[in-house]
Structures are given as C-alpha cells and as structure tokens.
Amino acid sequence: MTFYRYLPAAILASSLIATSSIPSHAQAQGQQEGRQARDADSQSVENHVITVSRGGDAYAKPDLGILVMSIQSASPIADEAVSQNADKAQAVESALAGLGIAPADYKITSVTFAQMGAGMPRFPGQAEITGYTATQDIYVFFEAADLSDVALLTKKTASVIEALRKAGAVPANSGPQSGLGIPGAQGALIIYTIKDPTPYEHQALQMAIARVRDAVQDLATGLGVQITGLRNVESNYLSGSIIPKGGSSPLVGLEYRWFSTKSDELDIHANATVQYDFK
C-alpha cells in the first residue's frame, strides 16, 4: 500500500525545468535492476496532454534499530488472557531493567484481542468462540552508537532476546497475531529505520522529477511538439522492498515510516507522475 502526496504545480515547476545535481550512489547491478523493476516507468499522450511517470531513489544509513518481540496469552476467558499478559509485561519490564535498559529505550504496546475458533468448522452444537488470545508487542530501541559496532550489537541483542524469552516473550512474527506485519521482513527480529527521513524523501523525489523532465524532453522532441505548461503533479513513496501502510508505520504505535532489514542501508523510493500540456 502506498500513500499519496499531491504537490502544488507551482512549487515543482522550477525543479522540472531547471537542471540540478542529484547525489549519486554506488549500487550493485542487482540493486539497479531491483530499482528499475519497482519504477512505474510509463508515458502516454492523449488530448494534447503528455503524462510521464518515473521513479527515483535515495539511500540513508539507519540511525535506529528496533528489536521486535511480543507477549501472547490464551484463555477461554478474556479477562484471564489479559491478566496473564499483564504478568508477562511486568516480567519483561523487570528483565529489561536488569539489563540496564531504561523505560525510554523500549515500548510495550496496548493489548489486542483475537477470538480463538472464530470462523473455523464446527461440530453440531459446538460454540464458535472457544477462547481469546491477548497480544502485546515489545519494541527495544538501539541507537546509532549501537549500530556502529555490529559485533557489539549482535551480543547486546542476543542478551536482550534471551532475557525477554525467559520473561515469556516470543518473536513478534510467530503466533496467530504477528506484530511484525512488514513485507520483506519475515523472520527478522530486528529491523532498522531512520528518525528523520525528510531530506532523503526530497532527494528521491528530485531524482524522480529529474527523470520525468528528461523523458518529457525526449518525448516532445520525438513527437515534434512544444510543451506549453504544467498541468498536474502527483507523487508517492515506497521504501525499498518494505512498504509503509497508508503513510503510517507498519509497527503499531511507532511514528517511523521507512524500514530495512539491513543495518547499513535504507532505500527510500519515490515515484512522480507529471502531466504537461502541449501543442
């Protein structure tokens, strides 16, 4: 799922016409092919309007790692499932405190419910709902200083995972109510993000716009027509192989939008679709 930002044509008109220097990034051939596969490269000409879509990428070094685990409890009675989860949450907090991790460095989400047996085949006379599961996600944050030393990060992460496991937590991508609903991150216990993606979003969009401008100039030259004005600009963003949901974080309760399974690189991808009038 993507989210859309409609940008005023007047703001982008100068960027579409003027040339600008876009920072380059050394990419392997496989990455280049992956970017091209994601780009919605297209152009059309209809009713004296040229429509062109192109994509662009910007690359950031993650400055925050997020370990994602969860606590889950099941019971025929909803209150009992909640009570069991509350005990596990308290054990998790004690375990993290024992490792010297402050409350500001982790987050435990509120409880979500699921009905056990709902929608499943039933025998005659069998109640549909056989119980309830209560789930809470646990996010433990690792700052840039932790990410700079992979060996130290691995050791620290392993210690946290073991402490949480003893407290009753499990990986968030296991069980019926997985909290790690991020395409491309299946099996990952820790994912990476960037706190302020704004400069990289702008860079990716500028790259997409530059590619649109070049394509439009080539198309107009080939058709022998003259561009007379900018009609409409529409843009949207994707994040590498991991896609944000509707512009908000796929991780419940967190504000971060872009995620990667790589500790050293996060790819922010933008698409721009622009319409021009011509004669």
Q: Write out the DSSP string of 17-37.
A: HS--PPPP----HHHHHHHHH
Q: Which of 98, 175, 96, 176 is nearest to 138 (CA)?
A: 96
Q: DSSP state, 104?
A: G
- Write out the residue limits of the CATH 3.30.70.2970 domain(s) in the chain: 64-192
From first CA to last CA, the distance across the chain in angstroms is 36
Architecture in CATH of 3-60+195-278: 2-Layer Sandwich (3.30)
The reported pLDDT for the residue numbered 184 is 53
64-192: which CATH number, 3.30.230.70, 3.40.50.720, 3.90.1150.10, 3.30.70.2970? 3.30.70.2970
User: What does the alpha-carbon distance between residue 50 and residue 229 come to, in Å, rounded to a whole number?
Assistant: 10
Helices 78-98 & 150-166, crossing angle to 10 degrees? Answer: 140
- Write out the residue limits of the CATH 3.30.110.170 domain(s) in the chain: 3-60+195-278
Q: Could you list the pLDDT tens digit for every one of the 279 residues in the chain?
A: 333 333 333 323 333 333 223 333 333 333 444 444 444 688 888 888 999 999 999 999 999 999 999 999 999 888 899 999 999 999 999 999 999 999 999 999 998 887 776 555 555 555 565 688 899 999 999 999 899 888 888 999 999 999 999 999 988 764 333 445 554 555 568 889 999 998 998 999 999 999 999 999 998 999 999 999 999 988 877 654 444 444 445 677 788 888 888 888 998 888 899 999 998
Would the pTM count as exceeding 0.75?
no
Region of residue 117 (left: phi > 0; alpha: psi -120 to 50; beta: else): left
**Measured in whole angstroms, how far is the alpha carbon of residue 242 from the centre of its chain?**
5
